[in-house]
Amino acid sequence: MNKHEPLRPCPHCGSKMRAGSLTRHEPICVRNPAAAARYRALLAAAPGSDYGITCGRYVELSTADKTLPTVITMRRLVGVSRWDDVLAAFGLQPPAAEQRAVFCPHCGKFTAAAKLAEHVQECQQQQAARQAAKPKPEPKPRKVYTFKPETVRNRTKPAMQICPHCQMERRNLGRHTCPEAPDVLAWLAANLPDPDYPGCIITVAKYKALPYRAISLTTLEAAYDSWGELAERFGLKLRTGAPAPGSKLDAASIAELHRLAQELHGGAFGPSLSEYQMHAVNGTYKAAGLAKMYGQRWGDVLRAAGLRVGTRSEYCTSAFARRKAHEAARAGIVRRVASKYERDDEPIPREQRGLVAYDTHPARGGGTGHWLR
């Protein structure tokens, strides 16, 4: 199709289009007298009738005769969207009610209104024949449920037993690893001394790296409060660790860092910046001064002192364990103090529950007033 071809008007309706489209449009134009007369004769329900045919009937005619425009093309030529308006453009009235298509409630098909009663009766007969020919399913056997009587398990807990070595109470001494057993003490006395630092105990990291451990680290931590207490049990000392080459730290700061590492974390890793600020007492410099030596990087301070930097989860776990032990120690000491709003003659305490206490007094305007306390 040539895009530069000029548009030509239709001699009947005046619509502008190119020569190829005009050739197809002119024979079917509704303003063409010959085409309009043909359409008027086809759309009429009967010769000389003022009523038009239904849209379904026109679909049948246009399907059989390919020279007729389709329903969509007819609506576009007339310039309307409803079929009744198409009939009105040719001077015809909408088809009678008995000719209009009606929806069948049984099969879902459209049929003429005049034949609806006959069609519905036929649909009902066909539906009854299909139901009669359909085999009926056999009833399923009824399930019989049998319930066993509920049995009550009488589980008696074994009596507590006392370990003869550590005096700990256990229900099953066969699963108890005693830190004071002779074989365990002999193994600890042979493996706890550090061969690189005579007279000092090995670090927690070295203890974890041992190929065989007669007692787990968790059991030792439950029996001894700290790694230093375990060292004192076997007559050993905590090693201060060798500072890194070129370290700017003095001996007092290194000793304080190692002391906090042993007391707070069992020597597994060094103290955090906030822990050093809170608990350091014998250091030469404060935490800010030590951090300033290494460009505000506290991890470099710990590495210079020969300590490992702990992870965030390790510091949080250690702080939670210390807080839990502190609260457990204060549980039997702290007593509840009565609020200043609580009276001594109340039978029920007023801590989040109880009765409302109030005073009565004569009101100015008469009557009695109540003051809540």
pLDDT in tens, 207-222: 888 888 888 888 887 7
Query: What is 114-164 written as a DSSP string?
Result: GGHHHHHHHHHHHHHHHHHHSPPPPPPPPP----PPPPPP--PPPPPEE-T
Q: What percent of the chain has pLDDT over 70?
A: 78
179-183, 189-193, 350-354: least confidently modelled range = 350-354
Contact (Cβ atoms closer than 8 angstroms) between residue 239 and residue 200: yes
Length of the chain: 373
Q: What is the pLDDT of residue 265?
A: 85
**Would the pLDDT of 225 be above 80?**
no
Q: How far apart are CA 317 and CA 88, in angstroms?
A: 88
58-62, 111-115, 145-149, 348-352: least confidently modelled range = 348-352
Q: What is the pLDDT of residue 239?
A: 67
More confident residue, 143 or 153: 143
User: Could you tell me the two tokens for 164?
Assistant: 């003869």
Q: How far apart are CA 30 and CA 37, in angstroms?
A: 9
Give the residue among 240, 238, 239, 243 at the shortest CA–CA distance from 305: 243
Identify the band that residue 65 occupies on the pLDDT scale cut at 50, 70 and 90: confident
More confident residue, 226 or 121: 121
Identify the band that residue 353 occupies on the pLDDT scale cut at 50, 70 and 90: very low
Burial of 362 (0-12, 13-18, 19+ CB in 10 A): exposed
Q: How far apart are CA 301 and CA 273, in angstroms?
A: 10
Angle at the Cα of 130 from the Cα atoms of 128 and 132, rounded to 5 degrees: 70
More confident residue, 52 or 364: 52
Q: What is the pLDDT of residue 345?
A: 54
Mean pLDDT of 321-347: 64
Identify the band that residue 355 occupies on the pLDDT scale cut at 50, 70 and 90: very low
* Average pLDDT score, the chain: 78
> Which range among 102-111, 224-233, 314-323 has the greatest average pLDDT?
314-323
User: Could you tell me the two tokens for 205?
Assistant: 């990291």
**Would the pLDDT of 352 be above 50?**
no
Q: How far apart are CA 207 and CA 226, in angstroms?
A: 14
Question: What are the backbone dihedrals phi and psi of residue 353, each rounded to the nearest 5 degrees, phi first?
Answer: -160, 170
Mean pLDDT of 315-330: 83
72-81, 90-99, 124-133, 168-177: least confidently modelled range = 90-99
Q: How far apart are CA 219 and CA 178, in angstroms?
A: 8
Q: What is the pLDDT of residue 365?
A: 60
Q: What is the pLDDT of residues 247-304, one digit of tens each?
A: 678 888 888 888 888 888 888 888 988 888 888 877 778 888 888 888 888 888 888 8
**Would the pLDDT of 15 be above 80?**
yes
Listed in sequence order, the residues at least 6 apart from 231 whose beta carbon sits closer than 8 Å to its beta carbon are: 192, 200, 201, 237, 238
More confident residue, 140 or 113: 140
Q: What is the pLDDT of residue 199?
A: 83
**Would the pLDDT of 223 be above 50?**
yes
Identify the band that residue 140 occupies on the pLDDT scale cut at 50, 70 and 90: confident
Quote the DSSP letter at residue 199: T
Give the residue among 161, 184, 182 at the shortest CA–CA distance from 171: 161
Contact (Cβ atoms closer than 8 angstroms) between residue 213 and residue 232: no
Quote the DSSP letter at residue 31: T
Mean pLDDT of 60-81: 84
Q: Which residue has the tokens 């109880």?
A: 354
